[in-house]
């Protein structure tokens, strides 16, 4: 029998997680909860996804819009084995009370503080830590990107210290109230909170991060300097290691990917999940350099989608649906159309 999954909150992350759940052979999407009707509710309806109305929200606007309502969030929770909370940041903490009352395991997103859950999660880094847990937090987009890269570099070469500067998108494409539309905004204070968030997964990692916000809506770019304990002989070795790891994509120079616009265009062309998403960490062959023990590299992160496969793996870890991380990751990625790593 497939595990029954509810998604509470159907915005940027929620709609992607819901679609991803629906594509997994061992999971069933029992429905999504929304606070108000929108074009997204209409799309969900067209896809045959049952729509529940958040407890406390008004059902009438759904009825007027002609969108059938399957019940309230409490009904959705009753019908599910696990709920993935995709409500706006800080709301997940409020929702946690309802999940506990309903006795349902829950996954939270990176907009919540680490304390909302027993474990902060990344599939490559700590899949087993989420086994059998009741409350797990999938870390934010930037933290997921850093944690994936840290998983690779720590196990292969050891990491003595990490410095990362994050060039962050100003808002998601639909967030018309976010800015700046001109200018570069340093994020205060230094260091930014991202380093501490990475330590919610790797408590012993020495990492300092800083961030600036720029007027773009798709992707963050990280500028990394990582001091390795046991550096490899060549940078080609590092690239091969990233290539052999799930959820990394390395562009070659001849592919002429100048920056994030081409990365997203590649995503639109390839369209792995039915959405033009790029769920991998994206690196450039010409954007990585080894200088003594210091590895310098850029990586780009599609903020809307990188956490989606991690949510699926978190479900499997919590419900015991896969024997290990590698099995779950392979199953998730195949269902989502994420290319397999090189052998």
Q: Which residues bind ligand NAD (CB under 6 A)?
A: 8-14, 33, 35, 54, 86-89, 91-92, 95, 109-112, 140-141, 172, 303-304, 307
Q: Which two tokens stand for residue 92?
A: 């997940």
Our CB check for ligand NAD shows the closer of 73 and 151 to be 73
What sign for the dihedral angle of Cα 92, 95, 101, 104?
Answer: negative
CB of 57 to ligand NAD, least distance (A): 8
Helix (H/G/I), strand (E/B), else coil: 295 = strand
Our CB check for ligand NAD shows the closer of 15 and 154 to be 15
Q: Please answer whether residues 228 and 153 qualify as being in contact, where contact means their C-beta atoms are separated by less than 8 angstroms.
A: yes
Nearest residue to 273 via CA among 19, 5, 9, 10: 19
CB of 7 to ligand NAD, least distance (A): 9
Give the helix/strand (H/E) hosting 248: strand 248-251
Q: Which residues pair with 121 in a beta bridge?
A: 138
Our CB check for ligand NAD shows the closer of 1 and 97 to be 97
Q: Among all residues, whose Cβ is closest to ligand NAD?
A: 11
Distances (CA, A) of 129 to 16, 103, 200, 211: 24, 20, 12, 29
CB of 244 to ligand NAD, least distance (A): 26
User: Residue 173 has what DSSP assignment?
Assistant: T
Q: What's the alpha-carbon Rg for the chain, to the nearest Å?
A: 20
Our CB check for ligand NAD shows the closer of 161 and 172 to be 172
CB of 3 to ligand NAD, least distance (A): 21
Our CB check for ligand NAD shows the closer of 238 and 299 to be 299
Our CB check for ligand NAD shows the closer of 177 and 204 to be 177
CB of 25 to ligand NAD, least distance (A): 25
Our CB check for ligand NAD shows the closer of 303 and 332 to be 303
Helix (H/G/I), strand (E/B), else coil: 261 = helix
Give the helix/strand (H/E) hosting 167: strand 159-169
Which DSSP string do the residues of 326-343 spell out, in sequence order?
Answer: HHHHHHHHHHHTPPPPP-
Please list the active-site residues: 141
CB of 257 to ligand NAD, least distance (A): 21
Distances (CA, A) of 287 to 195, 242, 256: 22, 13, 12
Distances (CA, A) of 223 to 190, 210, 250: 15, 10, 15
CB of 86 to ligand NAD, least distance (A): 5
- What is the SS3 assignment for 7-35? EECCCHHHHHHHHHHHCCCCEEEEEEEEC
User: Residue 341 has what DSSP assignment?
Assistant: P
191 prior amide bond cis, ω within 30: yes
């Amino acid at each position: 029998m497939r595990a029954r999954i509810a998604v509470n909150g159907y915005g940027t992350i929620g709609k992607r997680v819901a679609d991803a759940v629906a594509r997994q052979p061992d999971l069933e999407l029992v429905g999504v909860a929304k606070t108000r009707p929108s074009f997204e509710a209409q799309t969900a309806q067209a896809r045959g996804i049952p729509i529940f109305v958040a407890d406390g929200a008004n059902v009438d606007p759904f009825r007027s819009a002609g969108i059938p309502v399957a019940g309230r969030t409490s009904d959705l929770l009753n019908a599910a084995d696990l709920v993935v909370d995709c409500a706006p940041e800080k709301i997940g903490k409020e929702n946690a009370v309802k999940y506990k009352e309903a006795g349902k395991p829950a996954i939270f997103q990176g907009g919540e503080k680490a304390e909302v859950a027993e474990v902060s999660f990344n599939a490559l880094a700590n899949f087993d830590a989420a086994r059998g847990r009741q409350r797990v937090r999938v870390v934010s987009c930037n933290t997921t990107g850093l944690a994936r890269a840290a998983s690779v570099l720590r196990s292969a070469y050891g990491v003595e210290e990490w410095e990362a500067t994050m060039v962050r998108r100003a808002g998601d494409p639909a967030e018309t109230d976010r800015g700046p539309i001109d200018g570069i905004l340093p994020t205060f204070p230094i260091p930014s909170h991202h380093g501490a968030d990475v330590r919610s997964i790797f408590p012993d990692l020495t990492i300092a991060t800083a961030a600036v916000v720029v007027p773009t809506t798709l992707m963050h770019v990280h500028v990394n300097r990582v001091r390795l304990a046991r550096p490899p002989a060549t940078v080609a070795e590092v690239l091969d290691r990233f290539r052999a790891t799930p959820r990394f994509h390395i562009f070659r120079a001849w592919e002429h990917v100048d920056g994030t616009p081409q990365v997203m265009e590649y995503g639109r062309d390839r369209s792995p999940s039915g959405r033009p998403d790029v769920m991998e960490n994206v690196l450039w062959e010409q954007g990585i350099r080894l200088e003594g023990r210091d590895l310098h590299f850029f990586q780009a992160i599609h903020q809307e989608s990188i956490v989606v496969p991690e949510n699926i793996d978190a479900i499997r870890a919590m419900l015991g649906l896969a024997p290990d991380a590698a099995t779950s990751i392979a199953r998730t990625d195949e269902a989502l159309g994420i290319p397999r790593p090189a052998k």
